[in-house]
Amino acid sequence: MRAVPELRRSLGPFDATMVNVGVMVGSAVFLTAGEVARAVPHPALQLAAWGVAALFSLAGALTIAELGAAFPRAGGLYVYLHEAFGPAWGFFYGWALFVVIQTASIAAVAVAFATYCGHFLPLPPRAGQLLAVAVIAAVTGLNVLGVREGVVTQNVVTVAKLALMLGLVLLAFLGRAGRVENLVAAPAGLTSSAPGLLALLGGALIGPLFAFDGWITTSYVGSEIKDPQRNVPLVALASVGIVAVLYLGINAAYLYVLGSRAVAAAPLVVADTARVVIGARGADLAAAMVVIALAGALNGNILGGARVIYAMAGEGFFLPAAARVHPRFGTPAVALVAQGLVSVALVFTGRFDQLLTSVLFASWLFYALGGLAVFVLRRRPLARPYQVPGYPVVPALFVAFAALLLATTIAAAPRDAALGSVLLATALPAYALFRKARRTSPRDGERGEGDGGRDRQN
């Protein structure tokens, strides 16, 4: 791979953990509890679904961390798939993130942020769109100004939302509104056979797995993490562990206070829980909690996604200007702006939710390929300062589960998957165009450090 301009290694383990946690804890944990309760009405199995999702997310994070420690560069899976399978696969991942996955996520989070702000100040639809655009522009500008500015904001917002969520959990369990029976009582008519319970548990996993999604974000900023060989796996373990405890705690609080039936019927379970625990102002607390969670998720998505664009451009697979590091701020400013412009355009189309749904299956395709990359690269002479524990069982289980989830997602929404495949197919002409331009580039003969002087076939 080519050498690209270097970003500053300025992120310590706490900073990188807050980036990961901030992206993972968005709105999903507040919205999926009802779906899980409807899929499996037993409260213990509902909590088990979150626990299983945590274990598989941890397996994925520790698996990908082996690649992050071996290739501590910006770009994450873009770099790993390029190294393992060739530039085309890395480009397909990076292009999918730029065209839809990351940018539609940013648009969706920004619109959700504006929607929940409407709880405090009612906004007409057009004003909501303008607020979403404004917050994308503001957070993008903040990240352009410097890595520390973006990361300090991430730290403050993430700590604030963790404090609010933990505060609600403590109030729920220390107060008198809940009952222990709500956590263990099985509803009448529920099958007790092991196969039946496993089937129910499997159907309840989709929402929690998407709520944990985001554990891969730290890999995007690999070139900015201090001592990456040590800190990348440490951050993977810490971030998934923190979020797992938080998710189990808040879902247990929902059940303890409301009971499984009420959780299944609640459109916004956190608001109902807070209202029971602290009274009429509970809805305000819930809205504030979601707004802060979304602000952190937005900042983390903007910070991380631009690094993939930057890495692609540095190797000639994107507009050359996106590979520039700002001489004063030390950030990939052009990549950040390009990502922001696409995100803003998706806000105004109003179709970002459908687009995001259509390509969510692609995320698990690339996660599975990332797990396979561990096996491929184990056959090559690389320095591996960290190796995934339990190899080959842990990465194999993760790949198998990612493939199963991919197949389940496609079977559940074949039309969305077909649309997503069409969107992903736009990578083919784009790759051909950049490949041609790269061959004529005077830098084509460069080599990046750590590649052993080897240039892949392009």
Ordered DSSP codes for 104-155: HHHHHHHHHHHHHHTTTS---HHHHHHHHHHHHHHHHHHHHH-HHHHHHHHH
Separation of alpha carbons 104 and 117, rounded Å: 20
DSSP-derived 3-state class of residue 221: strand
- pLDDT on residue 3: 54
User: What pLDDT is recorded for position 10?
Assistant: 87
What's the confidence (pLDDT) of residue 201? 64
**DSSP, res 101:** I
Nearest to 44 by CA among 237, 156, 228, 192: 192
Closest C-alpha to 219, from 314, 116, 311: 311
Of residues 440 and 218, more confidence is placed in 218
Contacts of residue 261, Cβ cutoff 8 Å, sequence gap at least 6: 37, 41, 187
Q: Which of 328, 387, 311 is nearest to 2 (CA)?
A: 311
Extended strands (E) in 19-152:
none
**Does a cis peptide bond (omega within 30 degrees of 0) precede residue 233?**
no
What tens digit of pLDDT does each residue of 108-154 get? 899 989 989 988 888 888 899 999 999 999 999 999 999 888 899 99
Confidence of residue 444 (pLDDT cuts 50, 70, 90): very low
For tokens 């917002």, name the residue.
157
Instruction: Report whether pLDDT(421) > 80.
Output: yes
363-403 confidence digits (pLDDT tens): 888 999 999 999 999 999 988 999 999 999 999 999 998 88
User: Is 169 in contact with 253 (CB distance < 8 Å)?
Assistant: yes
Buried/exposed code over 238-264 (b: 16+ C-beta within 10 A; e: otherwise): bbbebbbebbbbbbbbbbbbbbbebbb
The pTM (predicted TM-score) of the whole model is: 0.86
Beta bridge partners of 221: 74
Tokens 């080959």 map to which residue? 392
> What are the CA-CA distances from residue 392 to residues 317, 354, 365, 398 (Å)?
33, 37, 19, 10
Predicted local distance difference test score (pLDDT) of residue 158: 93
The whole-number pLDDT of residue 2 equals 59
The structure tokens listed for 150 are: 């973006």
CA atoms within 13 A on the CB side of 269: 28
pLDDT at 198 over 80: no
* Nearest alpha carbon to residue 330 among 198, 59, 144: 144
Q: Report d(CA 271, CA 287) in Å as an integer.
A: 7
The answer to whether 307 and 74 are in contact (CB under 8 A) is yes
Domain 18-438 part of CATH 1.10.287.130: no
Q: What is the pLDDT of residue 199?
A: 59
Q: Are 294 and 116 in contact (CB under 8 A)?
A: yes
**pLDDT band with cut points at 50, 70 and 90 for residue 5:** low
pLDDT tens track for 268-313:
899 999 999 998 888 898 889 999 999 999 999 999 999 999 999 9
> What is the C-alpha separation between 383 and 385, in angstroms, rounded?
6
Which of 457, 98, 70, 136 shows the shortest CA–CA distance to 310? Answer: 98
Question: Above pLDDT 90, what percent of the chain?
Answer: 57
pLDDT at 1: 62
In the chain, the percentage of residues whose pLDDT exceeds 70 is: 90
